[in-house]
Amino acid sequence: MENFLSLINVAAVKEVAVTDYVSFTFFIGCMAMMAASAFFFLSMNSFDSKWRTSILVSGLITFIAAVHYWYMRDYYLETNSSPTFFRYVDWILTVPLMCVEFYLILKAAGATKSMMWRLIFLSTIMLVTGYFGEAVYPAQAQIWGLISGIAYFVVVYDIWIGGAAKLAAAAGGSVEKAHKTLCWFVLVGWAIYPIGYMVGTGEGQWYSFLDGAADMDVIYNIGDAINKIGFGLVVYQLAAESK
Ligand SMILES: *C/C=C(C)/C=C/C=C(C)/C=C/C1=C(C)CCCC1(C)C
């Protein structure tokens, strides 16, 4: 029992300064992800079976984030530095699941697995190159950020104009509406992340004027709460509308 407690309580008992907004957003983000997971999992069976997998994936996204936030929150309290490793492990699992959501809601309209894999592939390139720039080759952050940004724009293209957009238009009704809302999340909500990246990796790069302008982790934490919970709620709304 004592071992178990020391395992889960590494740093949570430390005193947190009231002005420590990074810790604040880690704690509140952690709790929000847990609450959202409970909400999605518990509501799952009240929907028609054709929506259950989508709601399940919504819950998995926030649940995976909740677990990583649990660690990141402690890591930050202990070390006062960015939990970059946990951050990217979280993203590499949750972002592809968000691509799966696009596939799931468009499946009835004829979405193919290859469309899904293409989005997963592109988002993986986006995250792996972002990790290189942030953690492995920070002196070349601008180059890695550019490659990552290109992959991001191809994702935006695919869902707004490419194959996924055409399927959504063909599906019409509440599916098309939900797809459009998710598209806005990717265009605007996901754009929060490159801002965090530039603020955190600006040293010696063309965007050095942004270096330290805000706290990278606060920006990422806000982005995660908006995007992960927001995405899930769009899917929830779709399921509730077309029960
Ligand atoms: C739940 C987590 C989400 C939705 C994470 C999304 C992350 C991104 C869209 C990150 C994008 C990046 C760029 C477009 C360029 C700079 C590097 C990244 C990885 C921060």
Taking the whole predicted model, whether its pTM rises above 0.85 is answered as yes
Using the predicted structure, report yes or no on whether residue 7 has a pLDDT greater than 60: no
Question: How many whole angstroms from 191 Cα to the centroid of ligand 1?
Answer: 7
User: How far apart are alpha carbons 118 and 112 in whole angstroms?
Assistant: 10
Amino acid at 14: K
Using the predicted structure, report yes or no on whether residue 8 has a pLDDT greater than 60: no
- According to the model, what pLDDT value does residue 13 have? 58
Alpha helices in the chain (DSSP H): 2-8, 21-43, 49-79, 84-106, 113-131, 141-160, 163-171, 173-184, 192-201, 216-224, 230-241
- Top mutation candidate among 68, 126, 210 for ligand 1, by most atoms within 8 Å of CB: 126
Using the predicted structure, report yes or no on whether residue 178 has a pLDDT greater than 80: yes
Using the predicted structure, report yes or no on whether residue 182 has a pLDDT greater than 60: yes
- According to the model, what pLDDT value does residue 86 have? 97
Question: How many whole angstroms from 103 Cα to the centroid of ligand 1?
Answer: 20
- According to the model, what pLDDT value does residue 9 have? 54
Using the predicted structure, report yes or no on whether residue 243 has a pLDDT greater than 80: no
User: How far apart are alpha carbons 108 and 238 in whole angstroms?
Assistant: 14
**Angle at the Cα of 13 (from 8 to 15), degrees rounded to 5?**
145
For residue 152, give the ligand 1 atom closest to its CA.
14
Domain ranges of the chain: 2-241
Question: How many whole angstroms from 21 Cα to the centroid of ligand 1?
Answer: 21
Residue 12 corresponds to which tokens in the numbers above? 């949570």
User: How far apart are alpha carbons 53 and 123 in whole angstroms?
Assistant: 21
- According to the model, what pLDDT value does residue 62 have? 98
- According to the model, what pLDDT value does residue 150 have? 98
Residue with CA nearest ligand 1 atom 1: 224
- According to the model, what pLDDT value does residue 17 have? 85
Using the predicted structure, report yes or no on whether residue 1 has a pLDDT greater than 60: no
Question: How many whole angstroms from 149 Cα to the centroid of ligand 1?
Answer: 8
Read off the pLDDT of residues 41-95 as tens digits, 9 standing for 90 and up: 999 999 999 999 999 999 999 999 999 999 999 999 999 999 999 999 999 999 9
DSSP label of 83? -
Using the predicted structure, report yes or no on whether residue 5 has a pLDDT greater than 60: no
Alpha-carbon distance values, 110 to 56, 107, 163 (Å): 21, 5, 10
Read off the pLDDT of residues 143-167 as tens digits, 9 standing for 90 and up: 999 999 999 999 999 999 999 999 9
Using the predicted structure, report yes or no on whether residue 212 has a pLDDT greater than 70: yes
Using the predicted structure, report yes or no on whether residue 3 has a pLDDT greater than 80: no
Q: What is the CATH number of domain 2-241?
A: 1.20.1070.10
Read off the pLDDT of residues 11-46 as tens digits, 9 standing for 90 and up: 455 688 888 999 999 999 999 999 999 999 999 999
Read off the pLDDT of residues 95-137 as tens digits, 9 standing for 90 and up: 999 999 999 999 989 999 999 999 999 999 999 999 999 999 9
